[in-house]
Chain A
Amino acid sequence: MTVTGWTFLAVSWSTILGLALFCFYRTLRKKS
């Protein structure tokens, strides 16, 4: 895999994982 390929993978994975963790953190912290 090229460096650009790894960059796409790393940026995509970290963006999605980061957003998911942020959302779950906020969801679980917020009382319904």
Chain B
Amino acid sequence: MAQGRKAPREAWGSRLGVILAVAGSAIGLGNFLRFPVQAANNGGGAFMIPYFISFLLLGLPLMWIEWTIGRFGGGFERSTAPGIFETVWQKNRFIKYFGVIGIFGPTVIFTYYTFVESWLLGYSVFALTGKYASCTDQTSMAAFLQGYQGLVQNEHFSSVSTAYLFFLIAFGLNILVVWIGLRGGIERVCKYGLLVLFIFAVVIMIRVLTLGSPDPAKPEWSINNGLGFLWNPQWNKLKEAKVWLAAAGQIFFTLSVGFGVILTYASYLRKRDDVALSGLTAATTNEVAEVILGGSIVIPAAFVFFGPHGTMEIAKGGAFDLGFVTMPLVLQQVAFGEIFAFLWFFLLFIAGVTSSISLALPAVVFLQDEFNLDRKTASILFAVVTFNLCQIVIFFNGQGSLAEMDFWGGTFCVVVFALIEVILFAWVFGMDKAWGELHSGSGIHIPRVYRFIIKYVTPIFLLLILGYWFVQEGWPTLLLEKTPTEKVPFVIGVRVLMVDLFAALAFLVWLAWRKRENREATK
């Protein structure tokens, strides 16, 4: 092991670099697939009212909290949640174990996210080679996807081997970027990656918005009405609690708050570096990608080829179907469709990579910080563990392993972690000290009403989301009520594995702290 004298702490190359890295972490598949589905299913234009309210009351406060306590912890050379939480609440011996969630959650998400990301790489190649060109309707395109995932054997794929090859490339690419490091790897990939992503997305958006009415027999299936499908407000929907919670959930997940990755990114800032303006800039960059670009591609494109009823059914089918089944079919029907399909899948692949590298970082940096390993050794250790976990997702996807990991790692842990963060920031750290820390070196002055919002409104909002989620989905899922009987043993197996991973991380935290205490005692 490469232990010994501690290497100099890494740093970001520029302010813009860290902002784009956080924006890259936030901009993912959800911006282009989940948002339009949520908006179309939850009131269209009226959805934007709870969406913007959630952005102001939940998204922005959590963004600022993570930037602020991340930079604060970094001042003590702590870059992951266990150490950062301890710097915020120094008198509490147990708070570091709550911080384990901030390593566990991203690691679990990384294991299935890289697999999904690799599908996008595969489809980018298939778009150019015409591999799915023979699929001309929803059923055959869905069968192509299932064959690729290894869920069924059909005329397109006899095994999961093609998907596995693309997984190896995507996984290797992620580890390589993390291995290279903060400035040369992550910062550079996010800078150029986001530039390419925005260019590709604008090109596709212009193509979609100039489709007009492709079928002369159905002039009402126009791009104008397609935009109306997404933006015409259905006021009655605002009376439904689930619409407000869907908007809050969308804001929460799109900004990548509650994952622990922004804490790690911000920990590499200097004490007088701005966090208030940088957090706002990263959040608004994400919103441009989501509302303007994400909202102008899939739903309007689906509408002009499948009409209002078809689009309604597609939207109900979920984000994956929209991205992997509907969009290739739509793009087959436009001139140079294979090029546009490549741009579509490759832009999603870039969005995936800039997110997944951020998910890998907390665990890698934890090994560096707490066990004094160098970046390369820590990256290899992380790769070995997550590569093994990925096999479960790849080979037991049909048994519900991906969905189970997403539920606990990507939903439950995220909301709980955000709740801990806001309580630590506003109630333990104290609002006066927290407000001063947030404005240290700040490029803007945040309205004082946010003192009240952060202290009372955001935690209550989070408790409501957690309570609603637990009653609606958490409890039935915990009791396996929705799981088919034949999948129960696999789902329990995945849960045991996740508990083992959490316990292993908690043990590493205990070990690291004992080593640290021994080191300090011998000084």
Closest chain B CB from A5 CB (angstroms): 4
Residues of B within 8 A of A19 (CB): 280, 284, 287
Establish whether residues B281 and A17, one from each chain, have CB atoms under 8 Å apart when the complex forms. Answer: no
B224 close to A1 (CB less than 8 A): yes
Interface segment, B85-93, B226-234, B461-469? B226-234
A28 & B16 in contact (Cβ 8 Å cutoff): yes
A23, B277: Cβ atoms closer than 8 Å: yes
A23 to B14, CA, bound (A): 16
Q: How many angstroms between the C-alpha atoms of A9 and B350 in the bound complex?
A: 27
Q: Which residues of A contact B291 (CB under 8 A)?
A: 12-13, 16
A1-32 to B contact mask, C-beta < 8 Å, 1/0: 11011101100110111011001101110101
Contacts of A24 in B (CB 8 A): 281
Chain B 177-216 per-residue mask, 1 if CB under 8 angstroms from chain A, else 0: 0000000000000000000000000000000000000000
B370 is an interface residue with CB less than 8 A from chain A? no
Nearest A residue to B49 via CB reads A8
B274 lies within 8 A of chain A by Cβ:
yes
Q: Among B228, B277, B285, B443, which residue has its beta carbon within 8 angstroms of that of A5?
A: B228
Contact indicator B443/A27 (Cβ below 8 Å)? yes
Residues on the B chain within 8 Å of A20, using CB:
281, 284-285, 287-288
Is B287 in contact with A27, judged by CB distance below 8 angstroms? no
B15 within 8 A of A: yes
Which of A9, A26, A32 contacts B273 (CB under 8 A)? A32
Chain A residues with CB under 8 Å of B228's CB are 1-2, 5
Nearest B residue to A30 via CB reads B443
- Secondary structure of the B contact surface, majority rule: helix
Quick check: is B44 within 8 A (CB to CB) of the other chain? yes
Most buried by A among B227, B231, B233, B443: B231
User: Hey, which chain A residues are within 8 Å of B288, CB to CB?
Assistant: 16-17, 20
A26 pairs with B284, CB closer than 8 A: no
Q: Does B225 contact A (CB under 8 A)?
A: yes
Q: Is B460 an interface residue (CB 8 A)?
A: no
Interface contact B15-A2, CB-CB below 8 Å: no
- From residue A28, how far is it (CB to closest CB) to chain B in Å? 7
Contact of A9 among B227, B287, B443 (CB under 8 A): B227
Q: Which residues of B contact A27 (CB under 8 A)?
A: 15-16, 19, 277-278, 281, 443
Does residue B245 face the partner (Cβ distance < 8 Å to A)? no
Contact residue among A1, A15, A17, A26 (Cβ-Cβ distance under 8 Å from B227) = A1
Q: Which residue of A lies closest to B228 (CB)?
A: A1
Bound: A12/B46 CA distance, A: 11
Q: Is the CB of A16 within 8 A of B287?
A: yes
- Does B48 sit at the interface, judged by CB under 8 A? yes
| CB <8 Å contact, A4 and B232 | yes
In the complex, chain A residues whose CB is within 8 Å of the CB of B16: 27-28
Tell whether B511 is near chain A: CB-to-CB under 8 Å.
no
Residues of chain B contacted by A15 (CB below 8 angstroms): 52
B210: min CB distance to chain A, Å: 16
Which of A5, A13, A26, A28 is B233 in contact with, Cβ under 8 Å? A5
Query: How long is the Cα–Cα vector from A23 to B167 in the complex, in angstroms?
Result: 37
Looking at B14, B44, B227, B284, the one whose CB has the most chain A CB atoms below 10 A away is B284
- Asked whether B274 lies within 8 Å of A16 as measured between CB atoms, the reply is no
B337 at interface by CB-CB < 8 Å:
no
Chain A residue nearest to B281 in the complex (CB):
A23
Known: A1-B227, A5-B233, A32-B15. A16 touches B292 (CB 8 A): yes
Shortest Cβ distance from B290 into A: residue: A16
- B residues 280-310 touching A (CB-CB < 8 Å): 280-281, 284-285, 287-288, 291-292
Q: Which residues of B contact A1 (CB under 8 A)?
A: 224-225, 227-228, 231-232
- Taking a contact as CB atoms closer than 8 A, the residue among A6, A16, A26, A30 that contacts B231 in the complex is A6
16 contacts between A and B (CB under 8 A): A1-B225, A2-B232, A5-B45, A8-B231, A9-B45, A12-B291, A16-B288, A20-B284, A20-B287, A23-B281, A26-B443, A27-B15, A27-B16, A30-B15, A30-B277, A32-B273
Supply 4 further A-B pairs (C-beta < 8 A) apart from A5-B45, A27-B16.
A15-B52, A17-B292, A20-B284, A27-B278
Ranked 9 nearest A-B pairs via Cβ: A1-B228, A8-B45, A23-B281, A5-B232, A5-B231, A20-B284, A30-B443, A32-B15, A9-B231
